[in-house]
Amino acid sequence: MSRYSQEFIRAIPKTDLHVHLDGSLRLGSLLEMARERRVKLPSQTEEGLDELVFKSSYANLNEYLECFTWTLKVLQDAEGLERSAYELAKDNQAEGVRYLEVRFAPQLHMSSQLSFDAVVGAVDRGLRRARDEANRALPADEPAFDYGIIVCAMRSFTAEFSDYYHNLCRVLSYSSQAEIIRAASLELARAAVQLRKESNLQVVGFDLAGAEHGFPASAHEESYEYVHRNFMKKTVHAGEAYGPESIFQAIAKLHADRIGHGLHMFDAEMIYSGSVQDKRAYVENLVNYIAENRTTIEVCLTSNLQTSPSLRSVSDHSVREMLRNKLSLTFCTDNRLVSHTTVSRELSLALENFSIPPDALKDIIIYGFKRSFYYHPYAMKRKWVRQVIDYYERLERTYGVA
């Protein structure tokens, strides 16, 4: 029997630092919005969509990413974006999440009718409305709910991905694919920095998402250097479908403050560069560097099980090695709809499959708050985190967790 009850897991203050807006719609809302927008889905029922689209497992990451083809179709207007953001925040609040960082690629939603500012503004409105509703009802001695927005550059795309990308590819018709990807990434970086400076929209970070294999982070060095110079926090999808070299690129070339997934961090056999003579030493040095710098890993157990055929069970996940090496990590959902999961479920999976004593669990929960890209000044963050710790310790006593 687990030392942690489901009531305790649900009650404790939690974070989700890695959750995609377009992968976390309510299934019923997806169907309703599709009907309203006359979007034809593969099925008109929740059961049918689960069977045909949002499956329990996938052949690989690329097949997993195909699910977003359908959710994106209902997120091409401000109303759909605002509604989805609002519902995502409410679903998190219902399970005790007190801080949420929602990420998405604005350029997948942009068109001649919907600018970058309008896309981000719609998402911010939904999150802000949900936050304000929740905080009005919270007791004064409980930590407030808050949120941040992370914008994602895409490792790869085609003209068919969105109106924005169609127009970009047309304008840059004499450029190579790599040059077009680099241009889109840098434009996104400039837009994110400017919006953060000129508005109160809670843009807190920059990310790199999409198919990892064959699309190295090096194409995005200029955009990451730009946001780095402008004091914006950075996370990178790395080590999800590629090995330690991808994580090294994220840290060395993109100044990553956090790593999304990091699943294959310890897989020396996935190092392909001929310049690496001692692969084991490379992994050891990489892990030690991450540990020393407290670079937090955004762990997504269910998602990794779905996209990595070699991962046969949760207990085989590299989080075991992350824990053994005392890495800073936090458990996240990645995509609540596509992976049929919640933060509470991800925590339960970890606690059922790995040895995580109370002091280690407390550290993991608090890492989520401490390593968040919190929008407000650092002095406010310290006070907020202290309140989270006090509240968590009170719940430990209430539920007899020691």
Contact 366, 392 (CB under 8 A): yes
CA atoms of 388 and 394, how far apart (whole Å): 10
Integer Rg of the chain from CA? 20
Contact present, 364 and 392 (Cβ < 8 Å): no
Residue (of 156, 157, 148, 221) closest to 189 by Cα position: 221
Tell me if 238 sits within 8 A of 262, measured CB to CB: yes
The predicted structure's pLDDT at residue 363: 97
Separation in Å, CA 179 to CA 30, 108, 169, 176, 353: 35, 18, 10, 5, 44
- pLDDT at residue 3, rounded to an integer: 82
Up-side HSE of residue 302: CA atoms within 13 Å toward CB? 24
Average pLDDT on 275-282 reads: 94
Is the pLDDT confidence value at 302 over 50? yes
pLDDT at 273: 86
Q: Look at residue 1 and tell me whether its pLDDT is greater than 60.
A: no
**Confidence tier at 31 by pLDDT (50, 70, 90):** very high
Q: How many CB atoms lie within 10 A of CB 38?
A: 6
Report the largest interatomic distance among the alpha carbons of the chain, rounded to a whole angstrom.
66
What's the rounded mean pLDDT across residues 350-374? 97
pLDDT digits (tens, 9 = 90+) for 370-382: 999 999 999 999 9
Q: Torsions phi, psi of 18, nearest 5?
A: -140, 90
pLDDT of residue 310: 85
214 or 364, which is more confident: 364
Summarised one tens digit per residue, pLDDT across range 235-244 is 999 999 889 9
CA-to-CA distance for 142 and 145, rounded, in angstroms?
A: 9
The one-character DSSP state at 140 is T
3-state percent helix, strand, coil for the chain, nearest multiple of 5: 55, 15, 35
Which pLDDT score, from 0 to 100, does residue 388 have? 98
Tell me the pLDDT tens digit for each residue of 337-346: 999 999 999 9
Question: In angstroms, rounded to a whole number, what is the distance separating the alpha carbons of residues 149 and 46?
Answer: 28
| Secondary structure letter of residue 103 according to DSSP | E
Task: Report, as an integer, the average pLDDT of 162-168.
Answer: 96
Assigned token pair, 92: 């998190």
Question: 3-state DSSP call for residue 330?
Answer: strand
Token duo for residue 154: 């895409």
CB-facing half-sphere around the CA of 288: CA atoms within 13 A: 6
Interacting residues of 219 by C-beta distance below 8 A, sequence separation 6+ = 155, 178, 181, 182, 185
Type of residue at 149: I
Closest listed residue to residue 167, CA positions, set 121, 115, 208: 115
Would you call 129 exposed, middle or buried from its count of C-beta atoms within 10 A (0-12, 13-18, 19+)? Answer: middle
* Predicted local confidence at residue 241, as pLDDT: 84
pLDDT at residue number 65: 84
**Which residues carry out catalysis?**
240
Is the pLDDT at 314 greater than 70? The verdict is yes
Q: What is the average pLDDT score of the chain?
A: 95
The confidence band for 61, taking pLDDT boundaries of 50, 70 and 90, is confident
- CA dihedral sign of residues 171, 175, 177, 178: negative
Look up residue 140 and give its two tokens. 């004064």
| pTM exceeds 0.85 | yes
CB under 8 Å to 172, separation ≥6 — which residues? 179, 180, 183
pLDDT of residue 2: 63
- What phi and psi values does residue 147 have, to the nearest 5 degrees? -150, 165
Is 139 strand, coil or helix?
A: coil
- Coil, strand, or helix at residue 322? helix
pLDDT at 248 (0 to 100): 95
Count the neighbouring beta carbons within 10 Å of the beta carbon of residue 167: 14
pLDDT digits (tens, 9 = 90+) for 103-129: 999 999 999 999 999 999 999 999 999
- For 73-94, write each residue's pLDDT tens digit: 999 999 999 999 999 999 999 9
